[in-house]
């Protein structure tokens, strides 16, 4: 069974985000980049399934400029067998990513797609659901546990009231939550081996996918600084303060 996993290149979660001076986006020049943490969990789960003998091959996909090749090599060092770069200079929106992944699924014929539930740069949480819709495959989102038995899998997912377990038939799309596993670190020997693993480069045009954006970002700004609060000693003082601010009718 082939498993397809995603690896988005994002700003490292330890880095303090800075908005560009022209407010066209966030600063990425000379900024540490990393694999999206939720995608790292997806890669780890796929590798574990291969180690158990359930999967035969793990294919990792990333989309963007040639800079994503570093991300793909890291994923290969973590245990993926081969990598695919969808090469584009254009910023990709969730539906475009889902369409590209759908085309790759038709090409590679995996039985399972595992991806992070969201990317920490835009927090859209849409691509997995869109991909399942395009493929007309069952989906298990926010997975905190995954059990595969033959052509069926059980997905335990976190919901507001606790946990829900659902049964799906393969092929399927799974999106990972933080509690699914603890990703491993890439060892030095595996980092060296990753340099020899195959990495294919393909373009959206070769996949026959239109990646034209559906919307445009007009401006990016930093969150407003929260004002210092005022300590009041009684309800009467609170009412008087609200009246001064014109909050009360």
Q: What is the pLDDT of residue 165?
A: 94
Judged by DSSP in three states, 91 sits in coil
Domain assignment present for 115 = yes
In the chain, % helix, strand, coil (3-state, to 5) comes to 30, 25, 45
Judged by DSSP in three states, 199 sits in strand
Domain assignment present for 236 = no
* Residues 102-119 pLDDT 10s: 999 999 999 999 999 999
Domain assignment present for 193 = yes
Q: What is the pLDDT of residue 50?
A: 95
Label the pairing between strands 33-35 and 9-11: antiparallel
Q: What is the pLDDT of residue 57?
A: 95
CATH no. for residue 179? Answer: 3.40.50.620
Which residues of the chain, if any, have pLDDT below 70? none
Region of 246 (left: φ > 0; alpha: ψ -120 to 50; beta: rest) is left
The pTM score is 0.85
Domain assignment present for 237 = no
> What range defines the domain where residue 114 resides?
2-221
* Residues 39-77 pLDDT 10s: 999 999 999 999 999 999 999 999 999 999 999 999 999
Q: If 0-12 CB within 10 Å is exposed, 13-18 middle and 19+ buried, where does residue 218 land?
A: exposed
Here the tokens at position 91 are: 């910023």
Domain assignment present for 243 = no
Say how many domains are in the chain. Answer: 1
Alpha-carbon distance of 48 to 115, in angstroms, equals: 14
Domain assignment present for 233 = no
Q: What is the pLDDT of residue 245?
A: 83
**Buried-state track 76-106, b at ≥16 Cβ within 10 A, e below 16:** bbbbbbebbbbbbeeebbbbbbbbbbbbbbe
| H-assigned helices in the chain | 37-51, 68-77, 94-108, 127-135, 188-194, 204-207, 235-245
Domain assignment present for 169 = yes
Q: What is the pLDDT of residue 20?
A: 86
Domain assignment present for 231 = no
């Amino acid at each position: 069974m082939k498993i397809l996993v995603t690896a988005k290149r994002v700003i490292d979660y330890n880095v303090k985000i800075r908005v560009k001076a022209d407010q066209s986006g966030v600063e990425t020049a000379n900024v540490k980049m990393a694999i999206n943490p939720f995608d790292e969990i997806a890669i780890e789960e796929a590798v574990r399934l291969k180690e158990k003998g359930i999967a035969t091959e793990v294919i990792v996909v990333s989309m963007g400029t040639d800079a994503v090749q570093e991300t793909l090599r890291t994923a290969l060092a973590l245990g993926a067998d081969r990598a695919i770069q969808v090469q584009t200079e254009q910023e990709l929106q969730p539906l475009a990513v889902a369409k590209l992944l759908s085309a790759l699924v038709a090409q590679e014929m995996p039985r399972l797609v595992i991806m992070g539930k969201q990317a920490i740069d835009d927090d859209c949480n849409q691509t997995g659901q869109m991909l399942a819709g395009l493929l007309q495959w069952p989906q298990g989102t926010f997975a905190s546990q995954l059990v595969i038995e033959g052509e069926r899998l059980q997905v335990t997912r976190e919901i507001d009231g606790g946990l829900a377990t659902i049964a799906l038939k393969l092929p399927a799309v799974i999106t990972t939550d933080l509690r699914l596993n603890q990703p491993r670190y890439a060892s030095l020997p595996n980092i060296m081996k990753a340099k020899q693993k195959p990495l294919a480069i393909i373009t959206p045009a070769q996949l026959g996918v239109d990646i034209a954006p559906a919307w445009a970002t007009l401006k990016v700004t930093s969150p407003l600084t929260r004002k210092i609060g005022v300590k009041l000693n009684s309800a009467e003082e609170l009412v008087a303060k609200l009246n001064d601010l014109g909050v009360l009718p």
